């Protein structure tokens, strides 16, 4: 009996601490994808589910560059993970000759909901969302920016301006390699308005260097002292979701192991604590239902891109 108990305990210990993962963040350091990837690695450590997991970055084209490299080199590899979200679906639709898509991956789970925030420098004469919409209508050269063309920030900005009665076909969007870089460009005088994920922008908001005008959430979010666009009378909202994927061609054993590991992590106290610190909402949607969501999300984003005049 003692031998059986010892073997059982060794078996449980082995399954509790799996081999570490290599996690691709298809963005620059400090961006939304990078933050999610590093939170995953940290949570794998804290929960002992996969201690020693590491993150590497391949930025470019809203995640498309990273997707191409990942799908080309990681097929069937059960120790590889990558994070993607709304922005990459939009970028793929704008990259019409792209030979890859998220269908070339194994969706494991949708993990977070993030929200965009419209920002101006603290010294700007634009002091409210109403000021911004008015300035857009009267100042053709107003410079908007954020992450890539078609990013969540671009889509939310267009949604706000259109709801405010503006012609969004004239929106001048200047992309940066990530939200953090866009905020730096704005503070350096290169942009007038930035749409960024709230988690990235919060330090600048709290330091008083930027002014937050409106949040993209459908309703107020606890811990975020920024009014929603809806609460300000503008019928605009956008949820910037992100999820985790594995390569294609996984063995059934690897797929089952990854599904179980991600499910356990997403339900852990450690994971929820990390997301709370980043002002993100946990939204766990496991693989099968996540796949159905992705099928519905693509046409919705296509409509938003058409409204911006980016697609015919």
pLDDT at residue number 4? 45
Domain span at 46 = 2-113+240-307
How many domains does the chain divide into?
2
pLDDT at residue number 17? 59
Do the domain assignments include residue 200? yes
105 with 179, same domain: the answer is: no
183 with 284, same domain: the answer is: no
Quote the CA–CA distance of 39 and 46 in Å, as a whole number: 10
Do the domain assignments include residue 312? no
Buried b (16+ CB within 10 A) or exposed e, 104-117: bbbbbbbbbbbbbb
pLDDT at residue number 30? 79
- What DSSP designation does 63 have? G
pLDDT digit of tens for each residue in the chain (312 aa)?
A: 444 444 444 344 434 457 999 999 998 887 789 989 999 999 999 999 999 999 999 998 889 999 999 999 999 999 999 999 998 999 999 987 678 999 999 999 999 998 999 999 999 999 999 999 999 999 888 999 998 888 899 999 999 999 999 999 889 999 988 888 999 999 999 999 999 989 889 999 999 999 999 999 999 988 899 999 999 999 999 999 999 999 999 999 999 999 999 999 999 999 999 998 877 789 999 999 999 999 999 998 999 899 888 888
279 with 171, same domain: the answer is: no
209 Ramachandran zone, left/alpha/beta (phi>0; psi -120 to 50): alpha
39-44, long-range: CB < 8 A, 24+ apart: 39/271, 39/274, 39/275, 39/278, 40/81, 40/83, 40/244, 40/265, 42/274, 43/265, 43/268, 43/270, 43/271, 43/274, 44/20, 44/265
pLDDT at residue number 199? 86
Q: What is the CATH number of the domain that holds 186?
A: 3.40.190.10
- Which helix (H) or strand (E) segment holds residue 252: the answer is helix 252-266
109 with 119, same domain: the answer is: no
């Amino acid at each position: 009996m003692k031998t059986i108990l010892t073997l059982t305990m060794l078996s449980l210990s082995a399954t509790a601490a799996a081999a570490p993962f290599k996690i691709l963040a298809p963005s620059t350091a400090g961006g939304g994808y990078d933050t999610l990837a590093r939170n995953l690695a940290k949570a794998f450590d804290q929960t002992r589910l996969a201690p020693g997991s590491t993150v590497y970055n391949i930025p470019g084209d809203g995640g498309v560059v990273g997707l191409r490299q990942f799908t080309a080199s990681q097929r069937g590899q059960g120790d590889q993970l990558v994070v993607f979200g709304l922005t990459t679906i939009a970028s793929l639709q704008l990259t019409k000759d792209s030979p890859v898509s998220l269908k070339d991956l194994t969706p494991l789970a949708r993990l977070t909901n993030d929200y965009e925030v419209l920002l101006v420098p603290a010294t700007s004469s634009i002091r409210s969302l109403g000021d911004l919409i008015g300035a857009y209508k009267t100042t053709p050269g107003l410079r908007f920016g954020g992450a890539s063309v078609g990013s969540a920030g671009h889509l939310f900005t267009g949604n706000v301006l259109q709801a405010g009665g503006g012609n969004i076909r004239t929106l001048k969007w200047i992309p940066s390699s990530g939200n953090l870089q866009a905020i730096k460009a704005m503070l350096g005088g290169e942009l007038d308005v930035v749409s960024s994920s709230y988690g990235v922008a919060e330090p600048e908001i709290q330091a008083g260097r930027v002014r937050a005008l409106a949040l993209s959430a459908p309703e107020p979010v606890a811990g975020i002292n920024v009014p929603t666009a809806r609460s300000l009378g503008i019928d605009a909202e956008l949820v910037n979701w992100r999820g985790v994927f594995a390569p294609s061609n996984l063995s059934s054993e690897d797929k089952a192991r990854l599904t179980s590991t991600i499910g356990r992590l997403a339900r852990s106290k450690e994971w929820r604590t990390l997301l709370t610190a980043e002002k993100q909402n946990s939204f766990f949607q496991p693989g099968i239902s996540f796949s159905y969501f992705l099928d519905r999300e693509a046409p919705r984003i296509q409509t938003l891109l058409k409204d911006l005049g980016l697609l015919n």
